[in-house]
Structure 1
Amino acid sequence: MADKGYTVLEFDGSIDDTPYPNHPNIHFYKAFVGVSDDASTISLARILAESKLDPSAHNILQCDIENAEWEILDAIVMQDLLAFAQIIFEFHGCDPDDLQGSILRLRVLEKLREHFTPIHTHYNNCAGICLGVIDSIAYPFCHSLEISYLRNDLVPSDARLVSGLASIALDSPCSANKADIPVIFPNPTPKS
């Protein structure tokens, strides 16, 4: 994205410096992203307030924050995310056997869906997989999902759901040593 002219604000408390120290469009901050501020963490709400994004620009938020995304998104005011045309999350801990975690995750996903439409899903093949059974058919499911969203007002009126096995150039295994996990959803039953 930085090579395409986007300004990139990179927050990562787990490394000392960006892997791209000489890139003029990448601004590195040694901090974790969380719900509240402390010595090593900055809140997503503060980042959004201080960055003064132009909501008419094509701003993109990409987060891979190792399971902190659920608490952050549960606490944030969703309207604060409307400055972004796209948001991309790697969602961790998607274990359907974890009832309490599933309740939180579903609540967060419902909040997101009010303002954003998922446009692409990819499973992270570094995470655990399981099988979900729907109508006696087993479908692979992954504990970490990479999901790209588009703000609802930008979704074309003629957009349609593409379901089933569909791999595009964007899809590639997160770990080259493991096979990619296909994303297969059952075709939705038409409502009568």
Structure 2
Amino acid sequence: MSYPLIVPFAALILTSFLFCRLGNDDNQFEISMANSGCEVHRFDPSIKSAHIQEGRHLWYHRLSIDWRDPNPAIAAHKLHSNTKKLGTILNEFGHQKIDVLKADVESAEWKILENLILEDVVEQIGQLVFEVHIHWPGFEVSGNDSTVVRYWYSLLRELELKDFRLFHTYKDLSKPQMFLKKEAFNASSCYTLSWVNTRWK
């Protein structure tokens, strides 16, 4: 069952939940969601096995979400980790929708967000929670500061045009106070942005 509105955590019931994080950070949120009966898939390229099931509703996959699928001409043993576009992963897993996508992809978020928008995958997501890193432009994002900011803004504006609404932001004060490699007073180099798809059914 999916809900188009934000409801308190204790009442949130989801059919599918995808979580992508690089590294071995705290996973209590995913465990709580799985214990509530949600189908949770966590993507972490650092785990040893390709797929691990923990309990009835929680899966770990040695996989990372990227803005491009791997080049088939590159031998698999040369790839450092298994990366795929979210649309490809959804097709392989047989999923049509994601109730919540929570992503911390360490500066790849801008290109991944661009891919989700360009391929209309974002329309299959009910809530999008992602961490943005603004201390540098990000992978394969170039240009002067104003060009980079315009690019970032264009992606966030595109989310709004697709009827996503920003409902929560979090400024991580434990991160350096940097903006595009410059010190910035009262800022953070890392923010979590939470969006809801108002067209979600």
Change (3 A) 1:46 1:54: closer
Stretch moving more, 8-17 or 110-119: 8-17
Residue 107 of structure 2 corresponds to 67
Residue 15 of structure 2 corresponds to none
Q: Tell me, which stretches of 5 or more residues in structure 2 are unaligned? A: 1-32, 71-75, 77-81, 138-143
**CA distance, structure 1, for counterparts of residue 88 and residue 39 of structure 2:** 18
Give the helix-richer structure, 1 or 2: 2
Residue 129 of structure 1 corresponds to 177
**SS of equivalent to 1:2:** helix
**SS of equivalent to 2:186:** strand
Shift of 1:95: 5.8
Q: String of CA shifts for 1:96-147, please: whole Å, max 9, x gaps.
A: 993343222112111112221010100122322259xxxxxx9833221111
The one of 88, 95, 101 aligned to 2:129: 88
Aligned AA (1:69) = E
RMSD: 2.9
**Structure with max Cα Rg:** 1
- Answer yes or no: is the 8 Å Cα contact 1:60–1:86 preserved in 2: yes
**CA distance, structure 1, for counterparts of residue 91 and residue 157 of structure 2:** 24
- Answer yes or no: is the 8 Å Cα contact 2:43–2:62 preserved in 1: yes
Q: Which structure ranks higher in relative contact order (CA pairs < 8 Å, sequence separation ≥ 6)?
A: 2
Alignment of 1:27-176 (within 5 A): 27-38=59-70, 39=76, 40-55=82-97, 59-76=99-116, 77=118, 79-93=120-134, 98-115=145-162, 116-129=164-177, 140-153=186-199
Change (3 A) 1:37 1:130: closer
**Consecutive aligned runs of 4 or more in structure 1 exceeding 4 Å deviation:** 94-97
Shift of 1:44: 1.5
Shift of 1:69: 1.1
**CA distance, structure 2, for counterparts of residue 111 and residue 52 of structure 1:** 27
**SS of equivalent to 1:101:** helix
Q: String of CA shifts for 1:28-66, please: whole Å, max 9, x gaps.
A: 1112211122342111221233344354xx711111111
Q: Tell me, which stretches of 5 or more residues in structure 1 are unaligned? A: 132-137, 155-192
**CA distance, structure 2, for counterparts of residue 5 and residue 111 of structure 1:** 32
**SS of equivalent to 1:109:** helix
The count of corresponding residues between Structure 1 and Structure 2 is 145
**SS of equivalent to 2:101:** strand
Aligned AA (2:127) = Q
Percent identity, aligned pairs only, is 25
Change (3 A) 1:13 1:33: same
Residue 178 of structure 1 corresponds to none
